Chain A
Amino acid sequence: MRSRCRDVHAYADGELAGDAAASFREHLPECSRCLAQLEAIFALKGLAETSAAAITEAPITAQLPRVTRRWRPRWWLGLVGARAPKPRLG
């Protein structure tokens, strides 16, 4: 396996930086193995996206630890909000 071949997943996911991505694009036309791999990766992306409805019905991500918020009365939230700095959005 040539060194560029190791980058196929990162390239498919848009995770390669500019020079590395350009270098991979030069490599792609001459490597049938990377082309086949890239096609497989993108086919799986397509299958995952079209199966997303079924996946999100029972997502494995439900098993992720969640930040839970305990119920508080409105006056308590106002009190905390006055003390704590407001989070900046965007």
Chain B
Amino acid sequence: MGELSRIAVARPALGHELARHRPELLRQARCLAGNAAEAHDLVEEVLDRAAGGVPDGNVRAWLYMLLVRCCRDHCRRQSGRGEASAESVGWPQVTETEFASALGRLSPSLRQIFELHEVYHLRYDDIAARLDLPVNAVAVKLRQAREKLQRMLSRALARGGR
């Protein structure tokens, strides 16, 4: 029985909520893990940790951060180190309105690349071909877009980190 089935039996509402995010979790886990089996294990570990309940706020953002921490712990175990402690979490407290407002304040060229990558899930080379840019320029602009969003959302992050 998978972790999701166990959660669905014990807590149907939570199981349903987590099942909604599972395909995207697996897609993101494939970027982090070395192979498909590891990605599957990472997602199972995320679901196991989420079985205790999800916090208020943006569940997808929280699950993705949990995925990163599971990946870090997985890497630690592989290199013979122990588990690490959990970090403070502020990101899930960012509201959709705050995020949309920050996104709207990005320059069109940065916003366009951010949306093509994070909403339409295009790879760097696809975006480069579509916008007639070098692949490096796409990578740089995507990084700039993220850094600007982080700066713009810093107030909401400070609130969530308390």
Contact = CB atoms under 8 A, between A and B. Distances in A.
Whether A associates with B in a native complex is yes
Contacts of A22: 34
A26 B75 CA distance: 6
Contacts of B111: 60
Query: SS class of chain B's interface: helix, strand, loop or mixed?
Result: helix
A51 B28 CA distance: 17
A10 interface: yes
A17 to B, nearest CB: 12
A42 to B, nearest CB: 4
B32 A11 contact: yes
A13 B58 contact: no
Give the size category of B's interface with A: 35 or more
B99 A64 contact: no
A46 B62 contact: yes
B119 A56 contact: yes
A29 B81 contact: yes
Contacts of A39: 65, 68-69, 87, 91
A55 B115 CA distance: 8
Given A35-B69, A40-B150, A46-B92, 19 more contacts: A12-B31, A13-B117, A22-B34, A29-B79, A35-B72, A35-B87, A38-B68, A38-B72, A39-B68, A39-B91, A43-B61, A43-B92, A45-B61, A45-B118, A46-B65, A48-B99, A48-B119, A49-B24, A59-B115
